[in-house]
C-alpha cells in the first residue's frame, strides 16, 4: 500500500511580517501540507521564519529544507531546534544537508573543506541532536529529513532519517555551486542505492523529491524550451521524462505523479514557491490518495 501524498512548498523570498504570514496562509489555502524554508544566504533565516509561519497557520507542518550543517554548531543548533519545536506546537520537521554552494561558505567565512569533511560534520550534527533531543523532558525529536545524492549521504539517510530527500540533481561540471537535473534513469540508480542501504530498516522512510519545474500547459515542448537552453546536456525527451519537471495538463501531471510514486516511491513532493499556485489543482486532485 503506497503512502498517501504530501506536498511541501519551499519559501525562497523574504517578505515583511504581514506579507510573510499572508504567503504562508495562502500555502495552507492551496492545500500544502508543509511550509518549508531553505538555508541559503540572501533568503529567509529558517527558524524565525518557521515560527512566524506556524503562528499564521493551523494545519501545515513547518520545516527546514534543508539546513546547511556547516553553518551550525551542533550544540547551539539543538537549542534552536528545541525552541522552534516548542514555539510551533510540535509541527517542526528538521531537514539537514551538507551545503553545496562554495560561494556561500566563502561569504560566511566557513571553511569549504572537502565533500567528506562536510559529510563528517553532518554526521556529528545528527549524533549531537540525538543526544541533546533524546531526553524524556524534551518530548519526541522532530521528524528528521536528510537530503543528499552520493552513496555516503544516502547511507546516512537510510540509517538516521525519517524522511529521505532526493535532490534529483548532481553537481554541474566546473560550477562549485551549480546543480543539473538528473535523468529518470539516473534517479532510478540513486533510489536503488538508497533502498540497498535501507534494507535493514524496521520501518521504511518517507521519500521526498524536490521538483524544479511546474508548468500547467497543453504545449509541453514549449514549456521546457527555456530550460533546455540552460541545460544543453539534456534532450527535450530527457527533461520531459524527468520527475523534476511536471509539465502538462492537470490530468497529465496528476497521472505523472501517480506514476512517479509507483516507480520510485516518492510520496512527499516539494515545489519551489513560485510553482505553488500552478501545482495547486494537482494537490487538490491527489489529496488523500
Amino acid 4: pLDDT: 98
Nine-digit cell string for 65:
529544507
In a domain, 114, yes or no: yes
Amino acid 173: pLDDT: 61
Amino acid 214: pLDDT: 96
For 137, phi then psi, to 5°, come to: -70, -15
pLDDT at 222 over 90: yes
How does pLDDT run across 139-190, given as a tens digit for each residue?
778 999 999 999 999 999 999 999 999 988 776 666 555 567 788 999 999 9
Amino acid 175: pLDDT: 56
Angle between helices 115-133 and 74-87 (to 10 degrees): 50
When the pLDDT of each residue in the chain is averaged and rounded to a whole number, the result is 94
In a domain, 60, yes or no: yes
**In the predicted model, what is the mean pLDDT of residues 231-243?**
89
Domain count, the chain: 1
pLDDT at 232 over 90: no
In a domain, 187, yes or no: yes
- Enclosing domain of residue 114: 6-213+249-285
In a domain, 237, yes or no: no
Nine-digit cell string for 56:
499564521
Nine-digit cell string for 61:
507542518
Amino acid 178: pLDDT: 59
In a domain, 235, yes or no: no
Amino acid 180: pLDDT: 74
Q: What is the DSSP letter of 69?
A: G
In a domain, 232, yes or no: no
Q: What is the DSSP letter of 211?
A: E
In a domain, 233, yes or no: no
**In the predicted model, what is the mean pLDDT of residues 246-263?**
98
pLDDT at 243 over 80: yes
pLDDT at 233 over 90: no
Distance CA 164, CA 26 (A): 27
Q: Any idea what the CATH number is for the domain that residue 153 is in?
A: 3.20.20.30
Angle between helices 184-197 and 250-264 (to 10 degrees): 40
Amino acid 146: pLDDT: 98
Amino acid 231: pLDDT: 79
Lowest mean pLDDT among 38-47, 101-110, 197-206, 226-235: 226-235
Nine-digit cell string for 215:
508548468
How does pLDDT run across 77-133, given as a tens digit for each residue?
999 999 999 999 999 999 999 999 999 999 999 999 999 999 999 999 999 999 999
In a domain, 153, yes or no: yes
**In the predicted model, what is the mean pLDDT of residues 192-211?**
97
Amino acid at each position: 500500500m503506497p503512502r498517501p501524498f504530501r506536498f511541501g512548498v519551499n519559501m525562497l523570498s523574504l517578505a515583511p511580517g504581514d506579507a510573510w504570514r499572508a504567503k504562508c496562509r495562502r500555502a495552507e489555502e492551496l492545500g500544502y501540507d508543509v511550509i518549508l524554508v531553505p538555508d541559503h544566504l540572501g533568503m529567509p533565516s529558517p527558524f524565525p521564519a518557521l515560527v512566524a509561519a506556524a503562528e499564521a497557520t493551523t494545519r501545515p507542518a513547518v520545516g527546514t529544507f534543508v539546513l546547511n550543517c556547516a553553518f551550525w554548531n551542533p550544540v547551539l543548533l539543538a537549542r534552536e531546534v528545541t525552541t522552534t519545536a516548542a514555539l510551533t506546537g510540535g509541527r517542526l520537521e528538521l531537514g539537514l544537508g551538507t551545503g553545496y554552494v562554495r560561494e556561500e561558505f566563502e561569504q560566511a567565512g566557513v571553511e569549504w573543506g572537502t565533500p567528506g569533511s562536510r559529510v563528517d560534520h553532518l554526521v556529528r550534527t545528527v549524533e549531537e541532536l540525538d543526544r541533546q533531543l533524546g531526553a524524556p523532558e524534551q518530548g519526541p525529536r522532530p521528524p528528521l529529513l536528510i537530503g543528499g545524492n552520493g552513496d555516503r549521504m544516502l547511507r546516512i539517510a537510510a540509517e538516521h532519517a525519517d524522511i529521505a530527500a532526493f535532490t534529483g540533481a548532481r553537481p554541474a561540471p566546473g560550477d562549485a555551486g551549480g546543480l543539473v537535473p538528473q535523468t529518470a534513469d539516473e534517479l532510478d540508480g540513486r533510489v536503488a542505492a538508497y533502498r540497498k542501504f535501507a534494507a535493514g530498516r524496521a520501518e521504511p522512510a518517507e521519500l521526498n523529491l524536490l521538483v524544479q519545474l511546474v508548468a500547467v500547459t497543453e504545449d509541453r515542448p514549449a514549456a521546457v524550451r527555456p530550460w533546455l537552453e540552460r541545460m544543453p546536456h539534456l534532450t527535450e525527451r530527457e527533461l520531459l521524462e524527468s520527475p523534476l519537471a511536471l509539465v502538462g495538463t492537470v490530468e497529465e501531471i496528476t497521472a505523472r505523479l501517480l506514476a512517479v510514486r509507483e516507480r520510485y516511491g516518492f510520496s512527499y513532493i516539494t515545489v519551489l514557491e513560485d510553482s505553488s499556485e500552478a501545482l495547486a489543482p494537482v494537490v487538490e486532485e491527489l489529496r488523500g490518495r
